[in-house]
Structures are given as structure tokens and as C-alpha cells.
């Protein structure tokens, strides 16, 4: 069950006819802007690649030019030559599409051309309720073959909140799985379960011996960092190779973090956010010894989802910048960096729709997924001034 305070806040939201940032909302897709979009560094046009996606969550790029798109209700779709193939990929596991849960992230193994492994994260039912699971399989035509579940978050909980769940490989081929605390705040400070943590595994699900909590009595060896609320953005820094993440705060307090092994990111003991609607304090304040401060934060909340460093050649003025999607804020945000310090923020495409995913494509373009019952895959194309 949710904590008393989170349950009370949700009751108030429902009574007022409101929905908390990050919760499922039935909003229509927004028509992409036409004409040239002018920004401080680059001008671009927005091209709709495909429409008619039902709550799309993630996109991945196959070496042959096709794209894989997950739909949260439980479908994996293929985009080929700019068209959405009518038949979804077959052979997916049983997926629990409840609340924020469903089919979530998709990622390719770093050596995909050699081994063909595709990774999916999703909400699955089991003893105690629902939880995030990760499966790998190989794509043969339009069917998944040789499926292997390599991770199951424990414990499973009832309710449909805070599943995470981005998948990211580092330069050594380790797999990071971002999780939420499933709406049960205090679990984010526990090491004896996976909730509110970032997980690090080998590509086959084995636990690396150098994970920070391996061998600690009562701790889950899969945990790499903890004290997270709901991490729905992860990207590898193109220069340092460090894992960057962002996560939802409640009402305010969205964070950008750089992951360190064994680090405690504070939720719910410290936060820059407050309870939804009622605005009461959460935890002990904004700082506490032994807990990591975010390198950047948003107050009020932007409801961040999706994250990508840009390294392509289509937009040279954006190289090295970090792009973040806004769900509730319905925008794309660009952060200019100096090391691990944010020096500037630019907000673009205000009102474009709920941006669920942001990806830098192998072709040098930026791609966005718009989360809606009639959602879309968009591409940013450079345009002259």
C-alpha cells in the first residue's frame, strides 16, 4: 500500500479532479508545429515520422534503418521506411498495463550486430502485485525468439505508480535499470529491496562482483545507487562515460543527477519538492550529510521523461548538450553543460505534447515520442535561418 501521506495526496487530487505530474492522463496528441522553429542556437523543423501510436514510451534504432517503438498497452511496433508496420511484434511476455505500468523501455545490446539481443522493460504481475521486469530476446522477422527474463524487481507492489524504467548500457557493457519506489516513499531508503534504486547487471542478468553492496548482509547486490523517486531518464555522457539520470520530484524538485556507486540520492529524506496540492513538507529538508545533491533541479516541476546527449553533425551548435523531455510541461528542454555544471537552459516546442522519450538518432537527428492515445514519433530536421 502507498504511505499515508501519498495516499492522502492522491485522494485530494481525485477530489479536485486533478492528476499528479507523471500519472497517466488521457490527452490527445498535439499537432507538431509547422514552419521553422527558431531557437537561440539552431533553427529546425519538426517532421512527424509516424502517428497513430498508442501511448508510445520508447524508441530504439536498428542497424538496418528500422526503428522499434514500445506502446505502453503492451505492443512492440516496427517503423520501416517511415511507415508504421500494421502487425505488432509477436512473442512478448505477459505485460500488466495498469496505471503508469505496461511495456516501457527498449534498448539494443552494444554488440547487437554480433549477438542480436534486444532488451525490454515492462510491468508484470506476480505475488504481491506488479513490478518492473527486464527481458532480453532476439528479433526474427516480426517475432521475439529465445526470450530470457534477466531481472525482476522485488518486491512486487499493488498500484500503478513509479515503475521507472530506463535501460542503459555503459562502455563496459554493464546494463543499468532505473526503478521507481512504486509510490511507497520509504522503500527508496532500503537496501533489502530494489524499489527506488538503480540496478547494475551484466548483460545476462548476473551481478557484477564490484557492485557497491555485494556481500553486505541484508542488501541487494544488484543495487548500484538508491534514494530515487522515479527515474525515467538515463544517458551516457559522451566524454566521461558516466551515467546521468533525471527523476521526478513530487510538486517541484525534479532532479538531474550523475550516478556514483553506492550513493544515496536522498528521497524521501531530502527533496526540493512538496506534497501534491496540499503543499506540505516532505522529509527533513533539502540537505543532509551523506546524501547527494542534484547537479540541477526544477521547481516547479517539468515532469521529465526521456534524456539524450547530442553528439551528431546535424546541429553542430548543440554538440555536448543534454536534452530532456517534459511530460506535464509539454516541451523539449536543452541544457548547456560545463563539466557537471548546467550553465544555461533553453525551453523549446512549448505545447508540443507530452514528450515521453528523447533520442539522438544514428543519423544525427533528434527524435521525440509524444505520449498520447494517438501519439507520434517526431524528428527534428535542421533549417536555415
User: Which letter does DSSP use for residue 151 in this model?
Assistant: E
User: Using an 8 Å Cβ cutoff, are 11 and 2 in contact?
Assistant: no
User: Using an 8 Å Cβ cutoff, are 41 and 385 in contact?
Assistant: no
DSSP string, 162-198: -----EEE-TT-PEEEE-B-TT-GGGGG-SSS-TTEE
How far the first Cα of the chain sits from its last, in Å, is 54
Q: Active site residue: 109, 162, 246, 365, which one?
A: 162
| Distance from the Cα of residue 378 to its chain's centroid | 17
User: Using an 8 Å Cβ cutoff, are 130 and 162 in contact?
Assistant: no
- Cα 355 to Cα 160, 176, 323, 325, 329, distances in angstroms: 20, 22, 11, 5, 9
- Cα 94 to Cα 59, 130, 327, distances in angstroms: 20, 12, 27
Three-class DSSP category at 4: helix
- In the residue annotation, 365 being an active-site residue is answered as no
Residue owning grid cell 534486444: 118
C-alpha–C-alpha distance, residues 34 and 347, integer Å: 18
Peptide bond into 155 cis (omega under 30): yes
Catalytic residues: 162
Amino acid at each position: 500500500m502507498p504511505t499515508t501521506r501519498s495516499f492522502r495526496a492522491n485522494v485530494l487530487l481525485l477530489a479536485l479532479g486533478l492528476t499528479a505530474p507523471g500519472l497517466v492522463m488521457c490527452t490527445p496528441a498535439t499537432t507538431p508545429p509547422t514552419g521553422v522553429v527558431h531557437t537561440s542556437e539552431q533553427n529546425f523543423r519538426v517532421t512527424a515520422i509516424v502517428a497513430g501510436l498508442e501511448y508510445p514510451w520508447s524508441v530504439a534504432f536498428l542497424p538496418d534503418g528500422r526503428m522499434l517503438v514500445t506502446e505502453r498497452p503492451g505492443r512492440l511496433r516496427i517503423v520501416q521506411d517511415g511507415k508504421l508496420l500494421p502487425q505488432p511484434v509477436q512473442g512478448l511476455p505477459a505485460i500488466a498495463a495498469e496505471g503508469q505500468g505496461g511495456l516501457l523501455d527498449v534498448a539494443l545490446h552494444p554488440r547487437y550486430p554480433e549477438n542480436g539481443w534486444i532488451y525490454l522493460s515492462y510491468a508484470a504481475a506476480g505475488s504481491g502485485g506488479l513490478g518492473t521486469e527486464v527481458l532480453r530476446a532476439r528479433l526474427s522477422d516480426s517475432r521475439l525468439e529465445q526470450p530470457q527474463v534477466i531481472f525482476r524487481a522485488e518486491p512486487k507492489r499493488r498500484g500503478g505508480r513509479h515503475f521507472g524504467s530506463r535501460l542503459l548500457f555503459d562502455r563496459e557493457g554493464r546494463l543499468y535499470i532505473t526503478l521507481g519506489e512504486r509510490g511507497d516513499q520509504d522503500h527508496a531508503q532500503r537496501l533489502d529491496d530494489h524499489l527506488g534504486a538503480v540496478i547494475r547487471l551484466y548483460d545476462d542478468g548476473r551481478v557484477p562482483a564490484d557492485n557497491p553492496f555485494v556481500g553486505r548482509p541484508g542488501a541487494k547486490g544488484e543495487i548500484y545507487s538508491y534514494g530515487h523517486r522515479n527515474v525515467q531518464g538515463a544517458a551516457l555522457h559522451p566524454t566521461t562515460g558516466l551515467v546521468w539520470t533525471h527523476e521526478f520530484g513530487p510538486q517541484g524538485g525534479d532532479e538531474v543527477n550523475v550516478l556514483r556507486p553506492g550513493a544515496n540520492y536522498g528521497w524521501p529524506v531530502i527533496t526540493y519538492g512538496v506534497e501534491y496540492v496540499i503543499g506540505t513538507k516532505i522529509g527533513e529538508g533539502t540537505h543532509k550529510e551523506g546524501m547527494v545533491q542534484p547537479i540541477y533541479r526544477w521547481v516547479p516541476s517539468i515532469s521529465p521523461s526521456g534524456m539524450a546527449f547530442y553528439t551528431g553533425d546535424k546541429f553542430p551548435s548543440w554538440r555536448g548538450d543534454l536534452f530532456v523531455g517534459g511530460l506535464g510541461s509539454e516541451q523539449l528542454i536543452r541544457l548547456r553543460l560545463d563539466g557537471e555544471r548546467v550553465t544555461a537552459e533553453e525551453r523549446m516546442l512549448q505545447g508540443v505534447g507530452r514528450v515521453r522519450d528523447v533520442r539522438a538518432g544514428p543519423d544525427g537527428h533528434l527524435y521525440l515520442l509524444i505520449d498520447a492515445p494517438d501519439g507520434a514519433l517526431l524528428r527534428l530536421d535542421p533549417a536555415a535561418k
